[in-house]
Amino acid sequence: LHQLLRRLRPGGPPAPVFPTQNGNVAIVTGGAKGIGYHTVKHLARLGMHVIIAGNDESEGQEAVRKIKEETVNEKVEFLHCDLASMKSIRQFVQQFRAKNCPLHVLVNNAGVMLVPERKTEDGFEEHFGLNYLGHFLLTNLLLETLKQSGTCSRNARVITVSSATHYVGRLHLNDLQSRCFYSPHGAYAQSKLALVLFTYQLQHLVTADGSHVTANVVDPGVVNTELYKNVCWATKVVKWMTAWLFFKTPEEGASTSIYAAVSPELEGVGGIYLYNEQRTKSTDVSYDDELQRRLWTESCKMTRISDVGSRDL
Protein backbone atom coordinates (compact mmCIF):
# COMPACT_ATOMS: atom_id res chain seq x y z
CA LEU A 1 0.00 0.00 0.00
CA HIS A 2 2.89 2.32 0.80
CA GLN A 3 4.25 1.64 -2.65
CA LEU A 4 0.86 2.19 -4.24
CA LEU A 5 0.42 5.54 -2.48
CA ARG A 6 3.89 6.62 -3.60
CA ARG A 7 2.99 5.79 -7.17
CA LEU A 8 -0.36 7.58 -7.01
CA ARG A 9 1.19 10.79 -5.65
CA PRO A 10 0.62 13.62 -8.17
CA GLY A 11 3.61 13.75 -10.50
CA GLY A 12 4.74 10.29 -9.34
CA PRO A 13 7.34 9.57 -6.66
CA PRO A 14 10.10 12.18 -6.43
CA ALA A 15 13.24 11.09 -8.29
CA PRO A 16 16.15 10.89 -5.83
CA VAL A 17 19.15 13.03 -6.67
CA PHE A 18 22.53 11.72 -5.58
CA PRO A 19 26.03 13.15 -6.02
CA THR A 20 28.06 11.91 -8.98
CA GLN A 21 30.38 9.02 -8.21
CA ASN A 22 33.17 9.48 -10.75
CA GLY A 23 36.30 7.59 -9.71
CA ASN A 24 34.44 5.31 -7.30
CA VAL A 25 34.25 1.56 -7.76
CA ALA A 26 31.41 -0.81 -6.86
CA ILE A 27 30.81 -4.55 -6.98
CA VAL A 28 27.19 -5.73 -7.19
CA THR A 29 26.52 -9.46 -6.84
CA GLY A 30 23.69 -10.76 -9.01
CA GLY A 31 23.73 -7.49 -10.93
CA ALA A 32 22.69 -9.02 -14.25
CA LYS A 33 18.97 -9.03 -13.56
CA GLY A 34 16.19 -8.01 -11.19
CA ILE A 35 16.96 -5.59 -8.36
CA GLY A 36 20.71 -5.97 -8.92
CA TYR A 37 20.47 -4.92 -12.56
CA HIS A 38 18.76 -1.64 -11.66
CA THR A 39 21.23 -1.06 -8.82
CA VAL A 40 24.11 -1.41 -11.28
CA LYS A 41 22.39 0.83 -13.84
CA HIS A 42 21.81 3.63 -11.36
CA LEU A 43 25.35 3.49 -9.96
CA ALA A 44 26.74 3.50 -13.52
CA ARG A 45 24.55 6.48 -14.35
CA LEU A 46 26.17 8.31 -11.44
CA GLY A 47 29.56 7.66 -13.05
CA MET A 48 30.75 4.71 -10.96
CA HIS A 49 32.93 1.93 -12.28
CA VAL A 50 30.65 -1.05 -11.60
CA ILE A 51 31.56 -4.73 -11.65
CA ILE A 52 28.73 -7.22 -11.90
CA ALA A 53 29.63 -10.41 -10.02
CA GLY A 54 27.48 -13.21 -11.38
CA ASN A 55 27.31 -16.86 -12.29
CA ASP A 56 25.88 -16.56 -15.80
CA GLU A 57 28.41 -15.21 -18.32
CA SER A 58 26.02 -14.58 -21.24
CA GLU A 59 23.37 -12.93 -19.05
CA GLY A 60 26.08 -10.82 -17.43
CA GLN A 61 27.61 -9.68 -20.73
CA GLU A 62 24.17 -8.81 -22.08
CA ALA A 63 23.45 -6.72 -18.96
CA VAL A 64 26.80 -4.94 -19.40
CA ARG A 65 26.00 -4.17 -23.04
CA LYS A 66 22.57 -2.74 -22.21
CA ILE A 67 23.76 -0.69 -19.23
CA LYS A 68 26.69 0.76 -21.19
CA GLU A 69 24.32 1.73 -23.98
CA GLU A 70 21.76 3.34 -21.65
CA THR A 71 24.14 5.13 -19.28
CA VAL A 72 26.95 5.96 -21.72
CA ASN A 73 29.34 4.76 -19.02
CA GLU A 74 32.01 2.42 -20.43
CA LYS A 75 33.22 1.39 -16.97
CA VAL A 76 30.74 -1.42 -16.47
CA GLU A 77 32.00 -4.98 -16.56
CA PHE A 78 31.13 -8.56 -15.69
CA LEU A 79 33.30 -10.94 -13.69
CA HIS A 80 32.32 -14.52 -13.08
CA CYS A 81 31.50 -15.35 -9.47
CA ASP A 82 29.40 -18.33 -8.47
CA LEU A 83 28.36 -17.66 -4.90
CA ALA A 84 27.54 -21.33 -4.46
CA SER A 85 31.25 -22.14 -4.79
CA MET A 86 33.96 -21.01 -2.37
CA LYS A 87 36.55 -21.71 -5.07
CA SER A 88 34.77 -19.44 -7.54
CA ILE A 89 34.46 -16.65 -4.93
CA ARG A 90 38.19 -16.84 -4.23
CA GLN A 91 38.98 -16.80 -7.96
CA PHE A 92 36.73 -13.77 -8.40
CA VAL A 93 38.56 -11.91 -5.62
CA GLN A 94 41.92 -12.80 -7.17
CA GLN A 95 40.76 -11.44 -10.54
CA PHE A 96 39.44 -8.30 -8.90
CA ARG A 97 42.67 -7.76 -6.96
CA ALA A 98 44.67 -8.15 -10.17
CA LYS A 99 42.96 -4.99 -11.42
CA ASN A 100 44.61 -3.04 -8.62
CA CYS A 101 41.62 -0.81 -8.20
CA PRO A 102 39.97 0.47 -5.03
CA LEU A 103 36.55 -0.65 -3.81
CA HIS A 104 34.13 1.89 -2.40
CA VAL A 105 30.83 0.01 -2.49
CA LEU A 106 30.05 -3.69 -2.20
CA VAL A 107 26.40 -4.64 -2.72
CA ASN A 108 25.69 -8.19 -1.53
CA ASN A 109 22.52 -8.55 -3.60
CA ALA A 110 22.41 -12.01 -5.23
CA GLY A 111 20.08 -14.63 -3.87
CA VAL A 112 17.84 -17.61 -4.44
CA MET A 113 14.51 -18.36 -2.80
CA LEU A 114 12.52 -21.52 -2.08
CA VAL A 115 14.85 -23.83 -3.98
CA PRO A 116 14.30 -27.55 -3.43
CA GLU A 117 16.60 -29.20 -0.91
CA ARG A 118 20.05 -29.27 -2.48
CA LYS A 119 23.64 -28.42 -1.68
CA THR A 120 26.27 -25.99 -2.91
CA GLU A 121 29.57 -27.23 -4.32
CA ASP A 122 30.98 -27.17 -0.79
CA GLY A 123 28.13 -29.17 0.67
CA PHE A 124 26.16 -26.36 2.32
CA GLU A 125 22.37 -26.09 2.16
CA GLU A 126 21.83 -23.81 -0.84
CA HIS A 127 20.01 -20.86 0.79
CA PHE A 128 22.48 -20.76 3.65
CA GLY A 129 25.52 -21.49 1.47
CA LEU A 130 24.77 -19.09 -1.38
CA ASN A 131 22.71 -16.25 0.13
CA TYR A 132 24.63 -16.05 3.37
CA LEU A 133 27.97 -17.89 3.44
CA GLY A 134 28.89 -16.87 -0.12
CA HIS A 135 28.47 -13.21 0.80
CA PHE A 136 30.18 -13.74 4.16
CA LEU A 137 33.29 -15.08 2.42
CA LEU A 138 33.20 -12.52 -0.39
CA THR A 139 32.94 -9.59 2.03
CA ASN A 140 35.73 -10.90 4.22
CA LEU A 141 38.05 -11.43 1.27
CA LEU A 142 37.33 -7.89 0.03
CA LEU A 143 37.42 -6.22 3.45
CA GLU A 144 41.06 -5.19 3.31
CA THR A 145 40.50 -3.44 -0.04
CA LEU A 146 37.38 -1.73 1.35
CA LYS A 147 39.37 -0.56 4.38
CA GLN A 148 42.13 0.83 2.16
CA SER A 149 39.59 2.59 -0.07
CA GLY A 150 37.52 4.26 2.66
CA THR A 151 38.48 7.62 4.10
CA CYS A 152 37.15 9.61 7.05
CA SER A 153 35.12 11.82 4.71
CA ARG A 154 34.07 8.99 2.41
CA ASN A 155 33.63 5.62 4.11
CA ALA A 156 33.59 2.51 1.95
CA ARG A 157 30.15 0.89 2.20
CA VAL A 158 28.94 -2.70 2.42
CA ILE A 159 25.25 -3.04 1.57
CA THR A 160 23.62 -6.38 2.13
CA VAL A 161 20.19 -7.22 0.75
CA SER A 162 18.05 -9.08 3.26
CA SER A 163 14.27 -9.40 3.30
CA ALA A 164 11.22 -8.94 5.51
CA THR A 165 11.19 -12.75 5.79
CA HIS A 166 14.05 -12.39 8.26
CA TYR A 167 11.38 -11.34 10.80
CA VAL A 168 10.05 -14.90 10.80
CA GLY A 169 13.49 -16.50 10.48
CA ARG A 170 14.98 -18.74 13.19
CA LEU A 171 18.71 -19.25 13.37
CA HIS A 172 19.43 -22.89 14.21
CA LEU A 173 23.05 -22.65 15.30
CA ASN A 174 23.14 -26.40 15.88
CA ASP A 175 21.61 -27.13 12.48
CA LEU A 176 22.52 -24.29 10.13
CA GLN A 177 22.37 -26.70 7.17
CA SER A 178 18.75 -27.69 7.95
CA ARG A 179 19.76 -31.37 8.12
CA CYS A 180 17.27 -32.25 10.86
CA PHE A 181 14.33 -30.68 9.08
CA TYR A 182 14.25 -28.95 5.69
CA SER A 183 11.68 -26.34 4.78
CA PRO A 184 12.44 -24.05 1.81
CA HIS A 185 10.66 -21.14 3.54
CA GLY A 186 12.53 -21.74 6.79
CA ALA A 187 15.89 -22.07 5.02
CA TYR A 188 15.37 -18.84 3.03
CA ALA A 189 14.26 -16.93 6.15
CA GLN A 190 17.23 -18.27 8.13
CA SER A 191 19.67 -17.13 5.41
CA LYS A 192 18.15 -13.63 5.43
CA LEU A 193 18.27 -13.41 9.25
CA ALA A 194 21.91 -14.54 9.12
CA LEU A 195 22.65 -11.65 6.73
CA VAL A 196 21.21 -9.14 9.24
CA LEU A 197 23.25 -10.62 12.12
CA PHE A 198 26.34 -10.64 9.86
CA THR A 199 25.90 -6.94 8.99
CA TYR A 200 25.65 -5.86 12.62
CA GLN A 201 28.67 -7.94 13.63
CA LEU A 202 30.68 -6.60 10.68
CA GLN A 203 29.84 -3.07 11.79
CA HIS A 204 31.00 -3.86 15.35
CA LEU A 205 34.32 -5.16 13.98
CA VAL A 206 35.06 -2.26 11.64
CA THR A 207 34.11 0.24 14.34
CA ALA A 208 36.39 -1.54 16.80
CA ASP A 209 39.43 -1.32 14.53
CA GLY A 210 38.69 2.25 13.43
CA SER A 211 38.24 1.38 9.75
CA HIS A 212 36.48 3.78 7.42
CA VAL A 213 33.93 1.18 6.38
CA THR A 214 30.21 1.04 7.14
CA ALA A 215 27.87 -1.94 6.83
CA ASN A 216 24.12 -1.64 6.43
CA VAL A 217 21.36 -4.05 5.52
CA VAL A 218 18.39 -3.32 3.27
CA ASP A 219 14.96 -4.76 2.65
CA PRO A 220 13.85 -4.04 -0.94
CA GLY A 221 10.17 -4.79 -0.27
CA VAL A 222 8.08 -7.14 -2.40
CA VAL A 223 9.44 -6.85 -5.91
CA ASN A 224 8.28 -8.39 -9.18
CA THR A 225 11.36 -10.42 -10.19
CA GLU A 226 12.34 -13.96 -11.13
CA LEU A 227 13.07 -14.67 -7.46
CA TYR A 228 9.55 -16.11 -7.28
CA LYS A 229 10.16 -18.77 -9.93
CA ASN A 230 10.10 -21.58 -7.35
CA VAL A 231 6.77 -20.69 -5.70
CA CYS A 232 3.83 -23.05 -6.18
CA TRP A 233 1.56 -22.56 -9.20
CA ALA A 234 -1.33 -21.11 -7.13
CA THR A 235 0.96 -18.37 -5.79
CA LYS A 236 2.22 -17.79 -9.33
CA VAL A 237 -1.35 -17.20 -10.48
CA VAL A 238 -2.07 -14.76 -7.63
CA LYS A 239 1.23 -12.98 -8.31
CA TRP A 240 0.47 -12.76 -12.04
CA MET A 241 -2.90 -11.14 -11.26
CA THR A 242 -1.79 -8.72 -8.55
CA ALA A 243 1.90 -7.95 -9.13
CA TRP A 244 1.23 -4.89 -11.30
CA LEU A 245 -0.71 -3.36 -8.41
CA PHE A 246 1.01 -4.50 -5.24
CA PHE A 247 4.57 -5.45 -6.18
CA LYS A 248 7.36 -2.99 -6.70
CA THR A 249 9.00 -2.93 -10.10
CA PRO A 250 12.68 -4.07 -10.04
CA GLU A 251 13.63 -0.43 -10.50
CA GLU A 252 11.61 0.60 -7.45
CA GLY A 253 13.02 -2.38 -5.57
CA ALA A 254 16.58 -1.14 -6.18
CA SER A 255 15.97 2.28 -4.61
CA THR A 256 16.91 1.37 -1.02
CA SER A 257 20.13 -0.38 -2.12
CA ILE A 258 21.08 2.69 -4.17
CA TYR A 259 20.20 5.00 -1.30
CA ALA A 260 22.37 2.95 1.06
CA ALA A 261 25.23 2.93 -1.46
CA VAL A 262 25.47 6.65 -2.27
CA SER A 263 23.25 8.80 -0.09
CA PRO A 264 25.26 11.57 1.65
CA GLU A 265 22.80 11.28 4.57
CA LEU A 266 24.27 7.88 5.37
CA GLU A 267 27.90 9.00 5.33
CA GLY A 268 29.55 7.35 8.34
CA VAL A 269 26.30 5.65 9.39
CA GLY A 270 26.53 1.89 9.82
CA GLY A 271 24.78 -1.02 11.48
CA ILE A 272 21.26 -0.06 10.44
CA TYR A 273 18.37 -1.83 8.68
CA LEU A 274 16.74 0.17 5.88
CA TYR A 275 13.32 -0.23 4.29
CA ASN A 276 11.87 2.28 1.84
CA GLU A 277 15.01 4.38 2.31
CA GLN A 278 14.31 4.70 6.02
CA ARG A 279 15.93 3.34 9.12
CA THR A 280 13.73 0.56 10.47
CA LYS A 281 13.97 -1.90 13.35
CA SER A 282 14.94 -5.43 12.40
CA THR A 283 13.77 -8.42 14.41
CA ASP A 284 14.71 -8.34 18.13
CA VAL A 285 16.96 -11.40 17.96
CA SER A 286 19.15 -9.72 15.30
CA TYR A 287 20.42 -7.29 18.00
CA ASP A 288 21.68 -10.16 20.17
CA ASP A 289 25.46 -9.50 20.32
CA GLU A 290 26.24 -13.00 21.52
CA LEU A 291 24.32 -14.59 18.64
CA GLN A 292 26.06 -12.28 16.14
CA ARG A 293 29.46 -13.35 17.52
CA ARG A 294 28.62 -17.05 17.55
CA LEU A 295 27.34 -16.98 13.97
CA TRP A 296 30.46 -15.10 12.86
CA THR A 297 32.75 -17.65 14.53
CA GLU A 298 30.85 -20.57 12.97
CA SER A 299 30.94 -18.87 9.57
CA CYS A 300 34.71 -18.36 9.79
CA LYS A 301 35.10 -22.08 10.47
CA MET A 302 32.80 -23.07 7.60
CA THR A 303 34.52 -20.79 5.08
CA ARG A 304 37.96 -21.60 6.48
CA ILE A 305 38.98 -18.06 7.29
CA SER A 306 40.58 -17.74 10.69
CA ASP A 307 39.31 -14.30 11.68
CA VAL A 308 38.74 -10.79 10.35
CA GLY A 309 42.46 -10.27 9.96
CA SER A 310 43.00 -13.38 7.84
CA ARG A 311 42.67 -12.90 4.10
CA ASP A 312 44.71 -15.75 2.70
CA LEU A 313 43.59 -16.83 -0.71
Ligand X SMILES: NC(=O)c1ccc[n+]([C@@H]2O[C@H](COP(=O)([O-])OP(=O)(O)OC[C@H]3O[C@@H](n4cnc5c(N)ncnc54)[C@H](O)[C@@H]3O)[C@@H](O)[C@H]2O)c1
Binding residues vs ligand X (CB under 6 A): 29-30, 32-36, 54-56, 81-84, 109-113, 130, 161, 163, 220, 222-223, 225-227
Q: What span, in angstroms and rounded, lies between the C-alpha atoms of 95 and 88?
A: 10
CB 165 within 8 A of CB 275: no
In whole angstroms, the minimum distance from the beta carbon of 194 to ligand X comes to: 12
Identity at 214, one-letter amino acid code: T
Q: What span, in angstroms and rounded, lies between the C-alpha atoms of 298 and 292?
A: 10
Residue of 132, 167, 188, 200 marked catalytic: 188
Nearest residue to 224 (alpha-carbon basis) of 204, 196, 254, 195: 254
Residue nearest to ligand X (CB): 34
Based on the residue annotation, tell me whether 132 is a catalytic residue of this protein: no
Residue placing its CB nearer to ligand X in the complex, 302 or 308: 302
CB 163 within 8 A of CB 133: no
Nearest residue to 152 (alpha-carbon basis) of 260, 262, 267, 259: 267
Residue placing its CB nearer to ligand X in the complex, 162 or 211: 162
Residue placing its CB nearer to ligand X in the complex, 150 or 219: 219
Residue placing its CB nearer to ligand X in the complex, 148 or 231: 231
Q: What span, in angstroms and rounded, lies between the C-alpha atoms of 98 and 104?
A: 17
Residue placing its CB nearer to ligand X in the complex, 147 or 277: 277
In whole angstroms, the minimum distance from the beta carbon of 120 to ligand X comes to: 8
Residue placing its CB nearer to ligand X in the complex, 134 or 150: 134
In whole angstroms, the minimum distance from the beta carbon of 133 to ligand X comes to: 12
In whole angstroms, the minimum distance from the beta carbon of 271 to ligand X comes to: 20
What amino acid positions are annotated as catalytic residues?
188
